[in-house]
Amino acid sequence: MGKFLKDSDGNLVSIDGGLVLERTLDRKPRDCEMCGFSKWAKKDKVFIIQVNGGGMEWICPDCAIKRGLPIEFYHKNFFSPGNAEARQLQNRIHQVDGSSGGSGPIEKLLDLTSSLCR
């Protein structure tokens, strides 16, 4: 079915007071209840938020970010145009933690192979 999201401290993630379930898709779900997104692909993600009265709200990752989902849980779905706010926040996080700028595994491999070719 999916998993309830937990932050880095182990606390359950909530949006508007409802717990958030993340589901990786193996078939088409219902459309996003906020924006109507319907071009789902396998391995896309949908977020299911518990709402008062026992109901569930199905929303796409872009709408989940707008509603307050922490950026570390963002996933760009295959046919989604993406969320400009999410991209900016992810870029800022990468700049702060130093994970961009040529220190990834591919860059390290390229450095290693270029040193062998001299």
Specify the residue for token string 């706010």: 85
Q: Write out pLDDT tens, residues 33-91.
A: 999 999 999 999 999 999 988 899 999 999 999 999 998 898 889 988 876 766 676 66
The answer on 45 and 69 residing in a single domain is yes
Total number of domains in the chain: 2
Q: Of 20-34, 57-71, 99-113, give the lowest mean pLDDT range.
A: 99-113
Spatial CA neighbour of 58 closest among 40, 43, 71:
40
- 79/35 Cα distance (integer angstroms): 14
The answer for residues whose C-beta is within 8 angstroms of residue 8's C-beta and 6 or more apart is 72
Two tokens, residue 102: 């040529």
Residue range of the domain that includes 69: 1-79
- 75/71 Cα distance (integer angstroms): 9
Asked if 16 and 33 touch (Cβ cutoff 8 Å), the reply is no
What is the reported pTM? Answer: 0.70
The answer on 64 and 101 residing in a single domain is no
Asked if 29 and 56 touch (Cβ cutoff 8 Å), the reply is no
The answer on 71 and 55 residing in a single domain is yes
